[in-house]
Structure 1
Amino acid sequence: MEQTSETCSSDLVDLIIDANGGLDYWNSVFSISTTFTFSGPALTARGFPGHHEVSISIDTKEPRVIFHRLRDLYGVWTPSRTEAGKLGSQEPPSIRLKPRDAFRGYTPQSVWDEHNLIYFVGYAMRYYFTLPFCLRLPGFQTQELPPITGPNDEQWRVLRVEFPDDFPTHTKIQKLFFDDTFRLRQMEYNVDIIGPRQTAHLCFDHRVFGQLIVPTFRFANLRVAGATHMTAFIVQVKDVQIHRTETTRSRGASAQ
């Protein structure tokens, strides 16, 4: 029987998920805590210069990220609400409803406030840490495209992904690139809340935490006229802790 591109993409998604820890293991994970550094010219242009250490907890079952530290801030991200407060302050955190709407009319030169920053970092990091398992959620559509030749003549398989409207991410249609061990090596997308510039997001230094394979060094390059690329963001993961259900741990599994 002839395979369609949709059938091939489904097979590819299964291979990717199995190689990155497996769906059974992922289903036992309810939260991921991570500390990482975050910097880059695009962050400076938004009004947040410097090299920042960030500590967050990511809910893998619901779209929620708790910020324990982001610069001098703490906060919470959800798609419909952000909270932002100053560490050490007795004042209650400020709240913004419909935080994505606040980006309307922004240009690549627009300066952000703390709610913009929490919204961007929150949805982006939850997306990165739930890949590739989120591809099996309802509403995702995938199609395998022809492979490309990556660095050192590596053959990378290419997955076109159309995201459901209720999954916060950079843009609705993206491309993901996987090597012959099914590790994520590159992502291509536009960042809708920043502007219509194509981004090539590269992933390096993959490490295993529990059974999950995590790229611990990422940099995102903007493709701009007159230049090959411009580095926009750099993310370096320092630590990851995997939190699993008690029923799983009681059967002898490690919390990692």
Structure 2
Amino acid sequence: MTAQKHQLLDQVLIAHGGLEHWNHFSKVRATLVTGGSLWGMKGLTQDSAPRQMTVWLHEQRASVMPFGGLDQRTAYTPDRIAIETTAGKVIAERSAPRESFRDHGETTPWDPLQRAYFNGYALWSYLTMPFLFTSPGVLTEEVEPWQEGTQRWRRLQVTFPENIATHCAVQDFYFGEDFLLRRHDYNVDVSGGLPAAQYVHDYVEADGLRMPGKRRAYRRGANGQPDKDALLVAIDLSEISYA
């Protein structure tokens, strides 16, 4: 690890509220509104109704409600996905859910459990970054900067171990002069390796921590440029609170 790499990650953590402060909390809740073309590509419909997302910060666990019914929610961990009632009755469940995406392409349809798994791991990742980068087994390296219009963004390449469920093993994160996240590049392994560039903005501060309020993921071309006419996923977060 180089001193420069240490410096970038340390500054990023400070800009988002600080690792020590983050460690005082165990979960985060947020109101979630999603859209984009990915759902249609997967044979799904997506409404604009707000939902409640809960993410546990120090274990891979998440839940969104309502899901498929006003009294239903998801229960996500990497090894199991379930749809259950708010009283805890299991409606459907699947062990080793990642295996169900084997040989999937970009337009392979998803069933409700696959949709729930994708939602679980993706939102868990987004709502724990960048503090997730300090987890055991996660490797970070500063790579060459990126010119985005008139701005020069520093880049952190992050390699995740197999035990962390996320989009893909190696992902790139771009940071502005204020060390806040601007862009996040990845391939969606559960959708045929679909390449995406996700732009984040409208940061909000909650309980002393800072989190992007809006995320927009576009198809990423071979040259690294996003296709702004191909919006894959839109995520709006509000009413963020830590406990």
Q: TM-score, normalised by structure 2?
A: 0.90
Aligned to 2:79: 80
The question of 1:16 aligning with 2:34 is answered no
Please give the alpha-carbon distance, in whole angstroms, between the structure 1 residues aligned to 2:221 and 2:152.
26
Cα-to-partner distance string for 1:168-225 (whole Å, 9 max, x where unaligned): 1100001000001111000111010001232110001111111111111111001358
Task: For 1:87 and 1:49, locate their aligned partners in 2 and report how far apart those are by CA, in whole Å.
Answer: 23
Structure 2: distance between partners of 1:164 and 1:86:
32
Equivalenced residue count is 236
Q: What is aligned with 1:40?
A: 36
Which residue of structure 1 aligns with residue 47 of structure 2?
A: 51
Distance 1:13 1:233 in 2: 27
Q: Where does residue 91 of structure 2 map in the other structure?
A: 93
CA gap 1:140/1:51 in 2 versus in 1, 3 angstroms: same
Match of 1:143 among 141, 144, 148: 141
Conserved 8 A contact 1:99-1:119: yes
With 38-47 and 121-130 compared, the bigger mean Cα shift is at: 38-47
- Evaluate the alpha carbon distance shift between residue 17 and residue 97 of structure 1 in structure 2; reply closer, same or farther with a 3 A threshold: same
CA contact (8 A) 1:140 1:161 kept: yes
Output the amino acid matched with 1:234. Answer: A
**Residues 218-233 of structure 1 correspond to what in structure 2 (within 5 A)?**
218-223=215-220, 229=227, 230-233=230-233
| Aligned residue in 2 for 1:117 | 115
**Match status 1:29 vs 2:50:** no
Once the 2 structures are TM-superposed, how far is the Cα of residue 159 of structure 1 from its aligned partner?
0.6
User: What's the CA shift for 1:71?
Assistant: 4.7
The one-letter code sitting in structure 2 at the alignment partner of 1:40 is G
Identical pairs, percent: 27
RMSD: 2.0
Q: Work out the CA distance in 1 between the residues paired with 2:174 and 2:220.
A: 17
Residues 106, 194 of structure 2: 8 Å contact kept: no
The answer for unaligned runs of 5 or more in structure 2 is: none
Question: How big is the shift at 1:9?
Answer: 1.3
Matching of residue 159 in structure 1 with residue 162 in structure 2: no
AA partner of residue 236 (structure 2): Q
Match for residue 104 of structure 2? Answer: 106
Pair 86,30 (structure 1): closer, same or farther in 2 beyond 3 Å: closer
2:60 to 60, 63, 72: 63
Partner SS state of residue 96, structure 1: strand
Q: Pick closer, same or farther for the CA change 1:213–1:166 going to 2, 3 Å.
A: same
> What is the CA distance between 1:142 and its match in structure 2?
1.1
Q: 2:201 maps to which residue? A: 204
Give 3-state SS (helix, strand or coil) of 1:193's partner: helix
Inter-CA distance 6–51: structure 2 relative to 1 (3 Å threshold): farther
1:19 Cα deviation after fit:
1.1
- Tell whether the 8 Å contact from 1:38 to 1:54 is kept in structure 2 after alignment: no
For the 8 Å contact 2:103–2:192, the answer to whether it is kept is no
Counterpart CA distance in 2 for 1:96 and 1:228 is: 34
Structure 1 counterpart of 2:206, one-letter code: F
Whether 1:171 and 2:171 are equivalent positions in the alignment is: no
Counterpart of 1:251 in structure 2 is: none
Q: Which amino acid aligns with 1:110?
A: T
What is the distance in 1 between the residues matched to 2:220 and 2:19? 35
Structure 1, 91-100 or 126-135: larger mean CA deviation: 91-100
Q: Which has the larger radius of gyration?
A: 1
